[in-house]
Each structure stands twice: as C-alpha cells, then as structure tokens.
Amino acid sequence: MLRQYKIKNFNFILVFSVVALSFIGYFAIGSARESVQERQLYGIIVGIILMIIVSLVNYSLYSYIRWGIYIANILLLILVLVAGHEVNGSKRWLNIGFQFQPSELAKILLILFFAQFIIKNKNNLNSLTVLLGSILLLVPPLLLIYKEPDLSTTVMVVVTFAVMLFVGGLSYKIVLTILGISIPAGIVFFSIILQDDNTLLEGYQITRILAWLEPEKYADSAAYQQLNSITAISSGQLIGKGLKNNAIASVKNGNFISEPQTDFIYAIIGEELGFLGAAAVIILLTIVVIECLKIARYAKDDMGAIICCGVASLISLQGFMNIAVTTGFLPNTGIPLPFVSYGLTSLVSLYIGIGVVLNVGLQTSKTH
C-alpha cells in the first residue's frame, strides 16, 4: 500500500495553490461569520493531514476495494435520507458530533469507483452493454442525491462522469449524438419546468430559476441574495474595503446576504479584497485544475489519468458554478466554492481528492 516515492515528483505547486485558496477562504469566513472561523481552521488542518496521508497511499489500491467504496457510498446516501438532519427543506446532513454531508464525499468516491470501472471495460467502452451498465451503476447514487433534494450536486456528478467516460475513450461520435439529443431535450425540459403545473422540480428550485430570469420581479425575495452579491462584488473595486471593515455602505455589514460564509463567500471576497482578491481566487483555481491535468498527462496508467481528470472536472465545474451564481450568470444553486467556502465535509473531501491526484503524480513513469 505504501511505497518509496521521489520527493521531486511531489507537486508542491498544487499543494500551495489549494492551501492558499483555503486560507483566503479562512480569512473571508472570519469576516463573514467569525463564530465559525475556528472550525474552518480545524477543517483545513484535518484536510491537509489527510491529503498528505492519502498522497502516500498507492492509488491502485482503490481498484481492489472499488465495490466497497461503491456500497459504502450508497449506504451513506441512504442513511442521510433515513436519519439525516433537515435544514430549509433539504435533508443532506448527518449529525455525528458534527455536520457530515455524504453527498460531498460521494463526488470523490464516485470518481474513484468509475475510474476503475472505465479501465476494466476500456476495450468495450463504446458498446451499448457497457454504457448501459455504467449508467445503471450511476443511477442509484444520483437518485439518492437528487432526493435530498440536491439538484446541483446531481448535475455535477453527471458532468464529471461524462468527462471521465470521454477521457477513458468514449467515441466522439457518441458524444456528438448525446449532445444532439440532450440539447433539444434540455430546452424542452426547461420549458416544461416553467409551467404552472410542473412537478419535476421542487417549488423553491423553480422559484430560483424564475428569479434568475426576471431578477427585478423577485428583487425582494428569491433574487435578493444574488442582486446584493453583484452589488457587493462591484463595490469592492480594485483593492476592496478590507477584511472586517466597518464601512456603513457594506453589503456584508448590512446583512444583505444570508449565510455569506458558504455559497456567497465570493461576494465577501469581491467586496473586501476587491478585484485583486477575486481574481486571485480564479487564478488559484485555474492553477489547481491545470496541475491536475498536467499530472494526468504524465500518469503511469489510464486509471491515474482518469482520476486526475475527474478531480479537475469536479473542481473546475464547482468553481465555475459558484462564481457564476454570485455574479448572476446562473440561478442560485447552493454550490460551495472549492477550498474557500465554509463547510468541513466539502473541504476535507476535496483535500482527499487532491491527495489521490498527488499520489498519481508521485508514480509518474513518463518524462515531463
């Protein structure tokens, strides 16, 4: 399980980038809601420790315990629906002395499971039998996540899965066929959910979409947070108002954003650290994704490459969706900003994912 590695193959740029993002988040969280800042620091410390430990564990081990990973994931998702803690109509958390969110860990576990599944079926990946088999395996965790309800995480898992299939060798002809079907289907689905008698989405999900389409109409309700988030980011100008500032004309100080330490932490960064701070977050996230893809390029085998691409896809998509929400380009989805938002399960799970990527990099057999 453990083996000798060369320190020169350890990707310190990747480690520095995720830790830098975490501490930007730590200080922004302290400004947004100081009462949870200390817990976030504990999460960062635990995450770094687990990242280092996981980075020393041969990632090939996951192929031997893949079914254990899959079953454990399913059981956790079932448990949260049966005995989970409900907040604002969503049942996504288990109370085990602290709030644990299985759907966040599921993102990483599913990457590890499907990386091995794709490799095992690589030669027949484009066959109908294998594709249907992979979809049948994906459906149970997807339905369990969707039932929490957590539509945004469901979408992220689907996109990450699709990227992994493509990297694993899925024919571009199949990809184009799926796109040719899914784009019109998506338009039809979008038109259906906007109907008054729609039952496909929860009421609050429909309201969020309508508020995104007509923010002025919902300015005092569903669009309230997003409009204030845009105001906060724009008011930061170049260097921001400073962390923990006492400015009267501050969106944060006026409590115009609820739970700013989680989904709307980017608004706090934009207001208090300005364009420079907001740009730094995007640059660091970009570096993280690029380094994951570089490690994938030089991975010793396809399983390592698929894992790295899966993690890169997850981080890039989650980062894009969070920032797009805070800037009004997407409806409010409730997605945390990777390594930055408050949320210990999300933070630690992503550190575990980075640990696996680092181990792939430690075992590179190709010349950089």
| pLDDT 10s digits, 145-169 | 988 888 889 989 999 999 999 999 8
Going by pLDDT thresholds of 50, 70 and 90, the confidence category of residue 209 is confident
Query: Does residue 264 contact residue 27 with C-beta atoms inside 8 Å?
Result: no
Bigger pLDDT: 218 vs 358:
358
Asked if the structure places residue 56 within a domain, the reply is yes
Going by pLDDT thresholds of 50, 70 and 90, the confidence category of residue 41 is very high
Residue 209 burial by Cβ neighbours in a 10 Å radius (0-12, 13-18, 19+): middle
- Number of domains within the chain: 1
Asked if the structure places residue 196 within a domain, the reply is no
Bigger pLDDT: 289 vs 1:
289
Asked if the structure places residue 256 within a domain, the reply is yes
Strand segments (E) across the chain? 85-87, 90-95, 99-100
Find the domain containing 320 and state its range.
20-168+227-362
The number of residues making up the chain comes to: 368
Please compute the mean of the pLDDT values over residues 19-37 and round it to a whole number: 94
Asked if the structure places residue 201 within a domain, the reply is no
Distance CA 342, CA 356 (A): 22
- State whether residue 191 is helix, strand or coil: helix
Q: What are phi and psi of 85, to 5 degrees?
A: -90, 125
Asked if the structure places residue 212 within a domain, the reply is no
Return the bridge partners of 90, or none: 87
Asked if the structure places residue 251 within a domain, the reply is yes
Asked if the structure places residue 193 within a domain, the reply is no
Percent of the chain with pLDDT over 70: 89
Going by pLDDT thresholds of 50, 70 and 90, the confidence category of residue 330 is confident
Query: Does residue 270 contact residue 240 with C-beta atoms inside 8 Å?
Result: yes
For the cut 80, the answer to whether the pLDDT of residue 3 exceeds it is no
For the cut 80, the answer to whether the pLDDT of residue 338 exceeds it is yes
Which positions ≥6 away from 29 have C-beta within 8 Å? 36, 37, 40, 261, 265, 341, 342
The pLDDT of residue 71: 96
Please compute the mean of the pLDDT values over residues 193-212 and round it to a whole number: 65
Q: What is the largest CA-CA distance in the chain?
A: 63
Which positions ≥6 away from 141 have C-beta within 8 Å? 73, 74, 77, 106, 110, 157
This prediction has a pTM of 0.90
Going by pLDDT thresholds of 50, 70 and 90, the confidence category of residue 253 is confident
Asked if the structure places residue 6 within a domain, the reply is no
Please compute the mean of the pLDDT values over residues 289-297 and round it to a whole number: 96
Q: What is the DSSP string of 76-143?
A: HHHHHHHHPEEETTEEEEEESSSEE-HHHHHHHHHHHHHHHHHHHTGGGTTSHHHHHHHHHHHHHHHH
